[in-house]
Each structure stands twice: as C-alpha cells, then as structure tokens.
Amino acid sequence: MTTTQYKNILAEVENGILKVTVNRPDKLNALNHLTIQEIGMAVEGGAKDSAVVGIIITGMGDKAFVAGADISEFASFSPEEGKKLSADGQKVFRSIELCPKPVIAAVNGFALGGGCELAMSCHMRIASDNAKFGQPEVKLGLIPGYGGTQRMVQLIGKGKAMELLMTSDMIDAATAHQLGLVNDVTTRELLIEKCKTIINKIAAVSPVAVAGIVKCVDAYYEPGVDGFNFEAEEFGRCFAKDDVKEGVSAFLEKRKANFKR
C-alpha cells in the first residue's frame, strides 16, 4: 500500500485502487476549504498515476460520509466571499466528474449539503444501509453551492429534486436507491468491497474507452454540445489508439484482452 500525506484526508493506493477518506470524524467530516483542496489534489494524483485504475471517496467512521460544507467557515461571509467559496468547490467537484478513471462515492453515513454534492459529483454512488442524504442549506438561508441544484436534477429529475432541495428532507439509503440517487445499497461492512468489485471489473476493460465514456456522458449535459456528434468524434478517436487493436484482436483470437495502462 502507498500512502500520500495530507492533513484532513487519507489517500491510500492498494491493488490499483485509490481510496480517499475524508478524515475529520469529530466534525462529521465537514468540508472546510483545505479538505476540498486536498480531495482535489488526491483525485488529480490518482488520475495521473498509471498504477491507479479507479478511485473510491468515503468518510472516516460509521456516522458520516460528509455532513456538509463546514458551516463555521462561512458564518460571516460577504457575497463575494460566498461566490468564491462556491466557485472553488465547484472547480474541484467538476474535476472529480471529469476524472478519466471511475470515481465511486462509498457513502457510509450522513451525506448532507456539500457531502451529498460530493457524492453526486462522483460517477457512481454506493450507500451503506445507514446512509442518509439531504440538502439542508435552505434551513441556513442558503442554496447548495457545489453543484447540487444542477446534479440532483440530472440524477433524479426535476420534480423530486425540487422537493428535496426546497424541503431539506433527509432521505434514507433505500429511498435514495429508489430515486436513482444511488446505484446500490449494501451493509457498512461490505461497502468498500462492493466499490472495489466495480472498479476491478472496469480494470479489465480498455482505459481509453472508459475515459471516452466519461467525456461522452458528460457531453449529454453540456449546453450547446451535440452529444451524438461528440460521441461519433470520440468513437473515431478510439481507432487511433492501441486499445482497439488489442481488444479486437483478443476477441478474434478468443483470448482475454490485455490493455496497457
């Protein structure tokens, strides 16, 4: 296992999987500025590290994934400071969304406010059965600032997103699953294993193709981008890469493909 030192997160690579653990359990892993920046650095490092196949983001302990942005940090912010906080966080969350390798949120407890937004910026979400989701910002006189108003609509549709965003209702893992907010629900004990199983499946397929999937699915949500055209361009670009030669040869030779990382 290789470990990179940070103050508020743990970042460990084991068997090709980078596990990023938000590590402020006494504050229910609330995201202060440094924590968000450290998550961004760890994900960027994982994206560049050829030994890393995929990334899991989780929270320390059994109570919280992340209970939101650190409320104590923005108590007396000006509008300009608020806008900057939002823009800085959005930038990091966008880099997670565009990571060319799979990023899975292992939601191990409260995923509130910025925590729910962090989970939504990941490519997939697996929840433990004690997980709780919600966007309670309206109770603070705020709106979500790390992409929550956009990604929640994308994931569960406008009507339910409006309801959760306006009421600040907290929902359990089963309801989140039913709404499509999470991909699957498991026990706390099996949570990380479940995420590893998904990443290990992806480890067997072409990394070039996986990176292409991330870009094309994202194009669906980009205003002004013709997703079908974008897909055709990306499909064409695959033929310039070795992976298609290896994948197609392996199929024709009835052997397992061996993609280079």
Active site residue 117: yes
Site for ligand COA in 30-89 (CB under 6 A): 30, 67-72
Query: 69 phi and psi, to 5 degrees?
Result: -65, 150
Alpha helices, DSSP H, located in 70-223: 79-97, 114-121, 148-156, 158-167, 173-179, 191-203, 207-220
Judged by CB under 6 A, which stretch of 110-118, 155-163, 220-228, 249-257 contacts ligand COA? 110-118
Name the catalytic one among 12, 14, 44, 137.
137
Q: What is the DSSP letter of 169?
A: -
The token duo for 209 is 């193709």
The token duo for 101 is 């390798």
Judged by CB under 6 A, which stretch of 107-115, 198-206, 238-246, 251-259 contacts ligand COA? 107-115
Site for ligand COA in 135-194 (CB under 6 A): 136-137, 140
User: How many positions of this chain bind ligand COA (CB under 6 A)?
Assistant: 16
Interatomic CA distance for residues 199 and 78, integer angstroms:
42
Amino acid at the residue 118: L
Query: 40 phi and psi, to 5 degrees?
Result: -60, -45
Active site residue 253: no
Residue from 27, 123, 125, 177 in contact with ligand COA (CB under 6 A) = 27
**Residue 243 touching ligand COA (CB under 6 A):** no
Name the catalytic one among 14, 73, 80, 117.
117
Residues in contact with ligand COA by CB under 6 A are 27-28, 30, 67-72, 110, 112-114, 136-137, 140
